[in-house]
Chains A and B, each alone.
Chain A
């Protein structure tokens, strides 16, 4: 059974700092890995999707990497801003198990201090 872990559970940084969020998964048989953002009391917004054959994806100040063989992904946020404060979740779409199921991590709650 696929398990997704995110460390740390919470992170607080001063504005302007570059930061890295970590995600690990136990089963490397995946179609893709996705990073989502969730604001308090809101739904999820897709940030980046990395296909299993890809190593990284970039969108603006965000860069996500994927090392499928080691079961790891990182989300790099450059020059953090208070508006980046949210919970960031990673999710994998597994080849085994229930079709179309996304398995999520519990998220990293990020606070960027002005």
Chain B
């Protein structure tokens, strides 16, 4: 089945130790997104790629970076995780079309714990 896959599902890191989260998709969608969702809060968009074009949200901290080496894969790098970065990180994809019909397909998420 076509899907969005995130690895690992759970990640424990130490304060200040760089960590990378991975997302892959078999949907062949042009757009890939990274969201941060803290407990009982709304998912917050960090950035997205439209093909190789990177689009950063204005309030995304510089501590968060992303790479998209090809259509299928996208990575989220947190350079120096702080305790406040503990959250669920959601990857999503979409296929551009009429904007009124466009939806996003989400992966299962990676829960990040910072010790």
Which residue numbers of A lie inside 8 Å of B, CB to CB? Answer: 4, 9, 31-32, 34, 36, 41-46, 49, 51-53, 89, 93, 98-107
Which residue numbers of B lie inside 8 Å of A, CB to CB? Answer: 4, 6, 31, 33, 40-45, 48, 50, 55, 57-58, 88, 90, 92, 94, 99-109, 111
Q: Are B108 and A42 in contact, with the CB atoms below 8 A?
A: yes
Q: Are A100 and B57 in contact, with the CB atoms below 8 A?
A: no
Show 7 residue pairs from A and B whose CB-CB distance is below 8 angstroms, ordered by the A residue. A43-B4, A44-B43, A52-B100, A89-B42, A98-B57, A102-B43, A106-B41
Q: Are B101 and A49 in contact, with the CB atoms below 8 A?
A: yes
Q: Which residues of B contact A43 (CB under 8 A)?
A: 4, 6, 90, 106-109
Q: Which residues of B contact A51 (CB under 8 A)?
A: 100-101
Q: Which residues of A contact B104 (CB under 8 A)?
A: 46, 102
Q: Which residues of B contact A105 (CB under 8 A)?
A: 42
Q: Which residues of A contact B92 (CB under 8 A)?
A: 44
Q: Are A106 and B100 in contact, with the CB atoms below 8 A?
A: no
Q: Are A106 and B50 in contact, with the CB atoms below 8 A?
A: no
Q: Which residues of A contact B99 (CB under 8 A)?
A: 31-32, 93
Q: Are A100 and B94 in contact, with the CB atoms below 8 A?
A: yes
Q: Which residues of A contact B103 (CB under 8 A)?
A: 32, 34, 46, 49
A22 to B98, CA, bound (A): 26
Q: Which residues of B contact A4 (CB under 8 A)?
A: 42
Partner of A41, one of B31, B94, B101, B109: B109
Q: Are A99 and B55 in contact, with the CB atoms below 8 A?
A: yes
Partner of A107, one of B6, B42, B102: B42
Identify the 7 closest CB pairs spanning chains A and B, nearest first. Answer: A104-B42, A43-B106, A51-B100, A44-B106, A31-B99, A43-B108, A31-B100
Q: Output the nearest chain A residue to B110 by Cβ-Cβ distance.
A: A43
A75 to B26, CA, bound (A): 31
